[in-house]
Structure 1
Amino acid sequence: MAAVRIRIDLAYDGTDFHGWATQPGLRTVQGELQAALATALRLPETWVTVAGRTDTGVHARGQVIHLDVEDEVVIESAGRAKEPPLATLVRRLNGMLPADLRIHRAIEAPAGFDARFSAIWRRYAYRVADQPALVDPLRRHEVLPWQRPLDLSRMNAAATDLLGLHDFGSFCKARDGATTIREVQQLVWERDEAGVAVARVIADAFCHGMVRSLVGCLLEIGDGRKEVAWAEQILAEARRTSSVHAAAARGLTLEEVGYPPDEALAQRAEQTRGRRVLAE
């Protein structure tokens, strides 16, 4: 039987999930999704590859996964439905999944596509309400209330020192054998139409806890507790320090994952699998 790789785009409210990755006895996004896929496809079990794992409490509007399955399984699972088999799969999954996890689309992935390794960037947003009038109870799961006013000009000045290819070990939780070299392509703070402070963070990839640590560092600069130069000083240490406090998970959302043109997907995946080093 011929195998097909399916790309699935999804979104979730991370509040009641213990992060992305499956964990025994805990409710996770991957666990819920794989169970629903197994039921919809009439398989004993399924396994998916994700573009980027999210921590407990972190949300996603533009998460991407891929799933390898035999073509006949997809067709047979659709039964007598008149719509295309992958459209049937989306409809059935959304009928099974809880309200805090939604499937946006499922398509046959182009040749060479890998949800994780083919990605060229991930875009996150972090939202902060730094005035009492901005704290909206209806957005309490996605916007962090902050007790001190933030000076976004100071935060953006500090953020410029964090752009580019660096060892971000100071802002990551160490994992054995994993590199902490990343390229931050954009890190900027702006206010939305309501006045909420929003960080837009784009990098080729992120190591564990990196975005929340970057935000935590910049929040201390923005409310005046640290000087603008502090961010660059922390970066230069290239190892985790207790002086940097990660911002709370609830303000963070994975907004989008970017991929190259179809003809470059396989090459990008091969390149990403290589271990990164900084030039001397």
Structure 2
Amino acid sequence: MSDEVEPGYVRVRLDLAYDGKDFSGWAKQAGGQRTVQAEIEDALRTVTRSPEPYELTVAGRTDAGVHARRQVAHVDLPEEIWAEHREKLRKRLAGRLPKDVRVWSVAEAPEGFNARFSAIWRRYAYRVTDHPAGVDPLLRGHVLWHDWPLDVAAMNEAARPLLGEHDFAAYCKKREGATTIRTLQELSLVRDAEGIITATVRADAFCHNMVRSLIGALLFVGDGHRPPEWPGKVLAAGVRDSAVHVVRPHGLTLEEVGYPADEGLRARNKEARNKRTLGAASGAGCC
């Protein structure tokens, strides 16, 4: 997964969106399950009439059932393929892709761009309602129903100690050889006029199940089952607490991915590949 493009190829950035309901996550799987990556790669190969597949690199691999509004990926295409299709590639993909996946923009990436390692933050939103009647039927695929009244102020109080750089092992599904050190830049909750609570979660990167575990802990505070200091104590303990539930995926949406100015891409790529330790920045991951 190089930052350098092979001679004869052009790196192309794709900004895309998808409804995760009927996908087994972003990444291709050996069992042939339906995934976002496979759908886009198949469509790309079809519209460019290419005998060979082109593999996408994504900013953040989303789990089964998780949505994305502004996901980012890149693909390296042969120069002749890019020259032939660049003006019409977006429209051709729109005609070939299923309706639960859209590619909003297709453009030549700046030098040094890597969709995964160049990113400096990923922003997710988790939406939940505690309305006694449940979720608006038109929103049921994107909003979780919590059947206890939620205190948003208490949830925000509980969120504050989680901000900053920490080892989030207590909120991550451990993966062999992967660090769980992350920098949580924002974790805040707001209730709108319709009673939907949106939690905004932004970090340099996320480890597996991190967002949904954090939300699960905050919901336990919001409904009064745990005091506001409890999520911070779980974080400090550094081990999974059986009371922390990974909430259902359909309430989670990847909203946006942030990148540095073009001149900062190479430095960010190098920083993101470094093994993290507390007190040292960076890296890349998925949620």
TM more than 0.5: yes
CA contact under 8 A between 1:7 and 1:108: conserved in structure 2?
yes
CA distance in 2, matches of 1:183, 1:279: 10
Q: Structure 1 segments of 4 or more deviating over 4 A?
A: none
**Are 1:18 and 2:24 counterparts?**
yes
Q: Which letter does structure 1 place at the counterpart of 2:44?
A: L
**Are 1:75 and 2:83 counterparts?**
yes
Report Cα offsets for 1:11-64 as digits up to 9, x if no partner: 000000000111122000011111111112222211000000000000000100
SS at match of 1:141: coil
- Identity percentage of aligned residues: 55
Aligned length: 272
CA distance in 2, matches of 1:192, 1:117: 34
CA distance in 2, matches of 1:140, 1:110: 39
CA distance in 2, matches of 1:135, 1:61: 21
Report Cα offsets for 1:152-189 as digits up to 9, x if no partner: 00000000010000000000001110000000000000
- Report the TM-score when normalising by structure 2: 0.92
SS at match of 2:88: helix
Q: Which letter does structure 1 place at the counterpart of 2:271?
A: Q
Written as runs of structure 1 = structure 2, the 5 A alignment for 1:193-204 is 193-204=193-204
**Are 1:100 and 2:105 counterparts?**
no
CA distance in 2, matches of 1:118, 1:239: 30
**Are 1:30 and 2:24 counterparts?**
no
Written as runs of structure 1 = structure 2, the 5 A alignment for 1:38-117 is 38-43=45-50, 44-76=52-84, 78=85, 85=86, 87-117=87-117
Written as runs of structure 1 = structure 2, the 5 A alignment for 1:55-204 is 55-76=63-84, 78=85, 85=86, 87-133=87-133, 135-204=135-204
Tell me the equivalent position of 1:235.
235
CA distance in 2, matches of 1:239, 1:7: 38
Report Cα offsets for 1:249-271 as digits up to 9, x if no partner: 01000000000001001110110
Q: 2:12 aligns with which of 6, 30, 33?
A: 6
Deviation at 1:89, TM superposition (A): 0.7
CA distance in 1, matches of 2:80, 2:192: 47
RMSD: 1.3
Tell me the equivalent position of 1:248.
248
CA distance in 1, matches of 2:168, 2:255: 21
CA contact under 8 A between 1:181 and 1:276: conserved in structure 2?
yes
Tell me the equivalent position of 2:285.
none
Tell me the equivalent position of 2:283.
none
CA distance in 2, matches of 1:230, 1:218: 9
Q: Which letter does structure 1 place at the counterpart of 2:54?
A: T
CA contact under 8 A between 2:118 and 2:272: conserved in structure 1?
yes
Report Cα offsets for 1:66-108 as digits up to 9, x if no partner: 00111111223x3xxxxxx2x4111111111111000100110
Structure 1 unaligned residues grouped into runs of 5+: 79-84
CA contact under 8 A between 2:128 and 2:197: conserved in structure 1?
yes
CA contact under 8 A between 1:125 and 1:254: conserved in structure 2?
yes
Deviation at 1:132, TM superposition (A): 2.9
Moved more, 9-18 or 21-30: 21-30
- Report the TM-score when normalising by structure 1: 0.94
CA distance in 1, matches of 2:21, 2:213: 19
CA distance in 1, matches of 2:14, 2:266: 18
SS at match of 1:242: coil
Tell me the equivalent position of 2:4.
none
CA distance in 2, matches of 1:12, 1:172: 24
